[in-house]
């Protein structure tokens, strides 16, 4: 069959489809579906309008619905036919709104269950560093600032470091700054905002018995497709080990902090920490916040949960600072192990975004 034959068959099929729509009563939602489909299929405006004029609606069509269809791209003749339907259906009842079935929210665990859950999460957190192998990885930090205080960010630099984790201790080797090689530069010499302790120190401090952290149930959540327990926590300054150093003034403060921990409901492993520091009003750095995300990672074909990304924000007067950190290229440590640096692919936004709390319908 030649092209003309195929064209005639397509036209015949379209005519049969439109005729079928015109032969039965139609609700307003069905009409909207029909017009949307016609727009997407680029159906002939005159043919769609002819079908609309033959329709018999079961409920009233309003001008707002027609305006919405106009915004979607309905043709002028189709719109004229729809406006005629507004008058023709004026005496019909208003369509009942479509009410989705109610969502049944999963209730929080009972007090006894919460106590047991929190004990398991605490045990996993305190044993976390013991389970880690010696490894190296790449840490890429993009540092930005905003002098206006309006989050109009300007990139200050990008720092690429080789991070070694050996016998529970972190060691940083600065390799590139703005893609230029550097030698003999220590992590502490970078200036600006720097951080360390992402590989267990912060996690341990939050759950250590001597910290006497106050935990409270917050909510259910979904993170990276997994159901999470979310607990709020607070650590007073008197029990804190979290220190902040202000290089220009040479001052250091130990800050209290509060935030949220997200723990996988199945493994009881902490997968996210969000925290804000307290008591910085009289310190040059007035605000500090941290978000740290963990993810399953393979090292020598073994599965571990390791930091994936972190974001640190600070405020000093009106000036804002932001460090976006990405961890990648994990491998087993050896004395001669090195990493060939490449700019890692950005982490997909949905991997860092909390999804709605789980429920059932």
Beta bridge partners of 192: none
Mean pLDDT for 161-171 is 86
Question: 225 and 133: one domain?
Answer: yes
Question: 112 and 55: one domain?
Answer: no
Question: 244 and 352: one domain?
Answer: yes
Residues 6 or more apart whose Cβ sits within 8 Å of residue 69: 32, 35, 36, 39, 78, 79, 82
Residue range(s) defining the domain that contains residue 179: 106-360
User: Which of 35-44, 78-87, 246-255, 335-344 has the highest average model confidence (pLDDT)?
Assistant: 78-87
Question: 47 and 113: one domain?
Answer: no
Question: 78 and 220: one domain?
Answer: no
What is the reported pLDDT for 22? 46
Question: 203 and 268: one domain?
Answer: yes
| Domain closes at, from 26, 53, 88 | 88
HSE toward the beta carbon, residue 59, CA cutoff 13 A: 13
Measured distance CA(92)–CA(107) in Å, rounded: 43
Question: 159 and 81: one domain?
Answer: no
What is the reported pLDDT for 41? 80
What is the reported pLDDT for 1? 46
Question: 248 and 122: one domain?
Answer: yes
Q: Could you give the C-alpha distances from 124 to 18, 121, 203, 270, 356, in angstroms and in order?
A: 63, 5, 10, 8, 25
pTM: 0.70
CB 252 within 8 A of CB 240: no
Question: 234 and 172: one domain?
Answer: yes
Question: 219 and 292: one domain?
Answer: yes
104/285: higher pLDDT: 285
What is the reported pLDDT for 106? 84
CB environment 80-99: b (16+ within 10 A), e (fewer): ebbeebeeebeeeeebeeee
Looking at residue 238, which CATH number applies to its domain?
A: 2.50.20
Measured distance CA(131)–CA(128) in Å, rounded: 5
CB 291 within 8 A of CB 274: yes
Measured distance CA(33)–CA(98) in Å, rounded: 14
Domain assignment present for residue 101? The answer is no
Compute the mean pLDDT over every residue in the chain, rounded to the nearest whole number: 85
Question: 48 and 139: one domain?
Answer: no
What is the reported pLDDT for 325? 93
**323-340 pLDDT tens trace:** 999 999 999 888 666 677
Pick from 108-112, 230-234, 299-303, 353-357: least confident: 353-357
197/103: higher pLDDT: 103
**257-294 pLDDT tens trace:** 999 999 999 999 999 999 999 999 999 999 999 999 99
Measured distance CA(143)–CA(177) in Å, rounded: 11
| Domain closes at, from 88, 115, 148 | 88
Domain assignment present for residue 96? The answer is no
What is the reported pLDDT for 75? 92
Residues 6 or more apart whose Cβ sits within 8 Å of residue 356: 222
CB 337 within 8 A of CB 330: no
What is the reported pLDDT for 337? 67
What is the reported pLDDT for 16? 40
Is residue 341's pLDDT more than 80? no
Is residue 359's pLDDT more than 60? no
Please give the tally of structural domains in the chain. Answer: 2
Pick from 23-32, 186-195, 196-205, 303-312: least confident: 186-195
Mean pLDDT for 171-191 is 81
Alpha carbon 115 to its chain's center: 29
190/305: higher pLDDT: 305
């Amino acid at each position: 069959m030649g092209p003309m034959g195929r064209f005639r068959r397509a036209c015949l099929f379209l005519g049969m489809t439109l005729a079928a729509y015109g032969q039965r009563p139609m609700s307003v939602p069905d009409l909207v579906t029909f017009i949307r489909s016609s727009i997407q299929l680029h159906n002939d405006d005159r043919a769609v309008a002819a079908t609309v004029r033959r329709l018999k609606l079961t409920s009233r069509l309003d001008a707002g619905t027609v305006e919405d269809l106009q915004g979607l791209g309905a043709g002028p003749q189709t719109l004229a036919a729809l406006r005629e339907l507004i008058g023709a259906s004026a005496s019909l009842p208003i369509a009942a709104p479509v009410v989705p079935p109610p969502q049944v929210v999963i209730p929080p665990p009972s007090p006894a269950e919460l106590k047991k859950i929190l004990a398991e999460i605490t045990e996993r957190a305190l044993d976390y560093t013991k389970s880690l192998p010696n490894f190296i990885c790449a840490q890429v930090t993009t540092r930005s600032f905003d002098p206006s205080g309006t989050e109009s960010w300007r990139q200050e630099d990008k720092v690429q470091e080789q991070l070694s984790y050996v016998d529970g201790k972190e060691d940083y080797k600065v390799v590139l700054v703005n893609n230029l090689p550097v030698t003999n530069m220590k992590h502490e010499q970078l200036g600006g905002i720097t951080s360390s302790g992402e590989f267990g120190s912060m996690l341990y401090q939050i759950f250590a018995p001597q910290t006497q952290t106050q935990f409270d149930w917050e909510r259910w959540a979904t993170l990276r497709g997994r159901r999470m327990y979310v607990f709020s926590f607070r650590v007073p300054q008197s029990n804190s080990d979290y220190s902040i150093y202000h290089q220009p003034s040479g001052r250091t403060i130990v800050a209290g902090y509060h935030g949220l921990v997200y723990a996988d409901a199945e493994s009881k492993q902490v997968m996210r920490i969000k925290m804000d520091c307290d008591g910085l009003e009289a310190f040059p750095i007035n605000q500090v916040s941290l978000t740290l995300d963990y993810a399953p990672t393979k090292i020598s074909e073994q599965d571990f949960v390791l930091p994936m990304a972190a974001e640190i924000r600070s405020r000093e007067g009106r000036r804002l600072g932001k460090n976006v950190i990405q961890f990648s290229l994990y491998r087993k440590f050896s004395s001669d192990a090195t990493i060939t640096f490449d700019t890692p692919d950005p982490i997909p936004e949905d991997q860092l975004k909390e999804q709605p709390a789980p429920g059932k319908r």
